[in-house]
Homo-oligomer: A and B are copies of this chain.
Amino acid sequence: MASRAKATILDIAREAGVSKSTVSLVLQGSGLIRPETAVKVRKAIEDVGYVYNRGAANLRKAHSNVIGMVINDLTNPFFAELAVGMERVFQAAGVVPFIANTAENPVRQQEVLKSMMEQGVAGLIVSPARGTTPGAFRRIEAAGVPVVFAMRRLPESRIPAIAPDNRRGACLATEHLIRKGHRRLAFFGGSSDLVVYQERLGGFLEACEAFAIPVADRTIVEGETSRKGGMACLETALAMPDPPTAALCFNDAVAFGVILALRKRGLEAGADFAVVGFDDVAEAEHYSPALTSVAVDTAGLGERAAHVMLKMIQSRTTRAEDHIGAVSLVVRESSGPNRNSQVGDAA
């Protein structure tokens, strides 16, 4: 059944009675070929079950048609949504994205990046693993392969990043809680080695300043960015002398954890304690209670990252501007009704 030696364009040329150059031209859809000849060649291609060898072609051609997407945690639906947005754009451009998972492991990340470079990718879209060293992309940059960071950025790096306006999102969410009447606020989850964390925490603190929340009434609990981490954060906070009455969470996973931990204690998110998440994953809307969250337009960011990448490839540059995606607060049940009217919601 399986024809042993795989067919090449020379086999097709023989089959169709033309030269290999003609076959190559047909393969590339050149207009120089007489239509009848093209038909004849295409039939031969079909007959021999020919498979185009892109590796051989890339040996001659300037650039390949594959782009690598290197993602730090594929099990987080958030990144899957990002990937889906990118794929839409790339597909239309005739580019194939290959995805690889680094599982938040910098060593694994280096292996994956090396592999992708060896395959001759035209560009790389990366959501860097936690703990990525600043030098990790030096060789790739030196090779002239464009890199775009998505969602996360590295502390000191000239690589363009596409990310949501974390600071503003956190600020909006915190204001929302303050306007609801909360005066003792918490920020739950994440850790300071992530730039994203610093941005989101920064927005939280900015809003606290603006509304003159005393430092003593701000509770910051670092923790894993998962359900489990969220549960732990709540326990820690409620064990304090003057516990907070509301929390902005690093992301939705943490927020879900907080809601579960509240329920375990017989408390209800929204009624007894206000909870706001970040990212607005698909699940937020269907949770119980529905989660108030900062929407970041994940798929849109993916599309934008893809567009920036295509432009970089086209203009043969390794530089581009950062893009900050707009954010919006989606108010649902988990942040509860107004608490009292200590703070008016004028303006």
Q: A: which residues have CB within 8 A of B?
A: 1-4, 6, 49, 51-56, 58-59, 66, 74-75, 77, 80-81, 83-84, 87, 91, 96-101, 103, 108, 111-112, 115, 117-120, 139, 141-144, 227, 256-257, 260, 263, 282-283, 286, 288, 318
Contact = CB atoms under 8 A, between A and B. Distances in A.
B2 A141 contact: yes
Contact of A288 (B4, B49, B103, B288): B288
Contacts of A53: 59, 118, 120
B75 A81 contact: yes
Given A74-B80, A87-B101, A101-B87, A118 B260 contact: no
Contact of A98 (B59, B100, B263): B100
A80 B84 contact: no
Contact of A100 (B56, B75, B97): B97
13 contacts: A1-B142, A2-B143, A4-B144, A51-B143, A54-B120, A55-B55, A55-B59, A55-B119, A74-B99, A80-B101, A96-B111, A98-B100, A263-B288
A286 B96 contact: no
B83 A108 contact: no
Given A227-B283, A227-B286, 5 more contacts: A2-B144, A49-B142, A56-B59, A66-B119, A75-B282
A55 B120 contact: yes
Q: How many copies of the polypeptide does the oligomer hold?
A: 2
A74 B83 contact: yes
Contacts of A142: 1-3, 49
A155 B4 CA distance: 28
Pairs of residues from A and B, 7 with the lowest C-beta to C-beta distance, nearest first: A55-B55, A2-B144, A98-B98, A99-B99, A75-B80, A54-B118, A96-B115
Contacts of A81: 75
A139 B6 CA distance: 12
A201 to B, nearest CB: 25
Nearest to A119: B54
A112 B96 contact: yes
B55 A54 contact: yes
A116 to B, nearest CB: 8
Nearest to A4: B144
Given A56-B55, A75-B80, A84-B75, A49 B139 contact: yes
A23 B59 CA distance: 19
A88 to B, nearest CB: 9
B103 A96 contact: no
A101 B99 contact: yes
Given A112-B96, A141-B2, A101 B77 contact: no
A75 B75 contact: no
A228 B282 CA distance: 11
A58 B120 CA distance: 13
Contacts of A49: 139, 142-143
Contacts of A282: 75
A134 to B, nearest CB: 15
A142 B227 CA distance: 47
A108 B84 CA distance: 13
Contact of A84 (B54, B59, B101, B118): B101
B108 A91 contact: yes
